[in-house]
Chain A
Amino acid sequence: MTRLINLRPGRRGRIMAGAIPLLLLALTYAVAAALRHADNPADKVLPTVFAMGAALWRMATQIDPVSGHITLLADTVASLTRMGAGLLLATLTALTLGLLLGVLPIARAVLGPVITVIAVIPPIAVLPILFIALGLGEAAKIALIAIGIAPYMTRDLAAHVAGLPAEQFIKAQTLGANSWVVAIRVALPQMMPRLIETLRFSMGPAWVFLIAAEAIASDVGLGYRIFLVRRYLAMDIILPYVAWISLLAILADTLLQWVARAGFPWAGNAGHGGAR
């Protein structure tokens, strides 16, 4: 008899198996919403799919008379701009520091402990400091994202470089490379696939920091909107917004995966070192 651990669904079977829980969730929600609306037609807690569709349509097409913008578009642009700036800042920091720490033992000795200490500080706890120091504008929100993910990314990249086979560094030296050339021609290119990887892992926390910063002090943004309409119990707006944020997160992840595959053909499936 075939053991349970050896039963593998085929491609179509896998898609169907994966769709079942999602369909069940949607069905459960639809039934629950219908039941609540049968009791109370004005129920706001579980809006029907049609109500959510109508609300989303309103947010995505009508110009808000107060701000003069299409709300969903303005929120998305504002949030993605903050996100992009925060990720860019974190990436540049992590790339520079990670390279430095990974290649130079002296830099590791000097900066390693500081970065470890910074990494254990809960970023949200620093948010008030950021608001005081940088004001309530964009800078504080971008800084929160960067401070939230850069230490982890730095440590991850430094560990990756330090873990490259020592033979490669010796070989580069026997080929006449100085420290700088070892850094930019041996270590840096081999950091890039790992950078994409660590950026993917950091996207989740980055969204948390973005939404937290927007919820506390902002006048536009996806996180701001969710927390604003919560006062009116507007679940018909909150749920589509959550779905939209999730979709954006999935798209960003897919994009990063595509960059990794297209940009680094040498990496393949081989992990560290690769050459075997």
Chain B
Amino acid sequence: MTDAPPLLEFRNVWVEYGDKVVLERVNLAIPARAFISVVGPSGAGKSTFLRLILGQEAPTRGTITFDGAAMPAECGPDRGVVFQRYSVFPHLTVIGNVLFGLECAAAPVLGRLFGAQRRAALEEATAMLDAVGLSAARDQYPAQLSGGMQQRLALAQALVKHPRVLLLDEPFGALDPGIRADMHDLVGGLWRDHGLTVVMVTHDIGEAFKLGTRVLAFDKRRHDPHAPHRYGATATYDVPLLRKTAPPAAGPDISPESA
């Protein structure tokens, strides 16, 4: 879609567990500021695909390049994630959850900030809470929040680190339809305003087309009825939704690291 080098590139990537092939021949280039929706039946390797980008898993064969360099095989702060559940820390307050990422970066030994550093971090975290509409719940614990509010918190927690890629693993799967629509508006807005690159795995095709600039459908291209595990899945459909390409740096971009 753009001439710039892709942020993420998959070259002939295979993932195998023993003799079970999960992903085969995945060739993809994901440009910065794209919103990729990933759909497909259960067991088609959507989550494996996400774990590859997250660095939780390494490919059996093939290469993944991230920002021009080989993908590190470990999770790092350049890739944020929101899971369907358990994304936030139950023992930290709302503000504490957002503060956590800032504290990790600045205080690798104590894991806590003090004085002026803490005040600056608090200010940043508070601004992030405002952006997701959680200012009123600042001092509550996650157990006191609704499912939708917990996912808003998980987004704020990830975005405060200004990740190069934001990964969403069925983030709205457990929410009521009404709340889900609100969350779509929120995520769409954050994507546009912060110039994010998003990869979202979802079961909801409507959601995939509503939010994405490009929809990837994962499925098995070949099928052996006697040994179904011997063929892996790949992106069988790759649908660019051109009418919704990301506007170049529209609105205030508060992400300092992004080029």
Contact = CB atoms under 8 A, between A and B. Distances in A.
- Most A C-beta atoms less than 10 A away, residue of B74, B92, B105, B111: B111
B83 interface: yes
Interface in A149-190: 165, 167-168, 170-178, 180-181, 184-186, 189-190
B85 A185 contact: no
Contacts of B92: 266
B239 interface: no
A178 B90 CA distance: 19
Nearest to A270: B143
Interface in A234-276: 264-268, 270, 273-276
A76 to B, nearest CB: 36
Interface residues of B, number: 37
B34 interface: no
Contact of A170 (B75, B103, B111, B157): B75
Contact of A175 (B56, B77, B141): B77
B108 A181 contact: yes
B111 A190 contact: no
A168 B86 contact: yes
A174 B87 contact: no
A183 to B, nearest CB: 9
Contacts of A186: 89
Contacts of B158: 171, 174-175
Interface in B191-223: none
Contact of B85 (A178, A181, A190, A276): A276
Given A170-B54, A170-B56, A181-B111, A176 B87 contact: no
Interface of B: 54, 56, 74-77, 79-81, 83, 85-92, 100-101, 103-105, 108-109, 111-112, 141-143, 147, 150, 154, 157-158, 161, 163
5 contacts: A171-B83, A174-B161, A180-B109, A180-B111, A267-B91
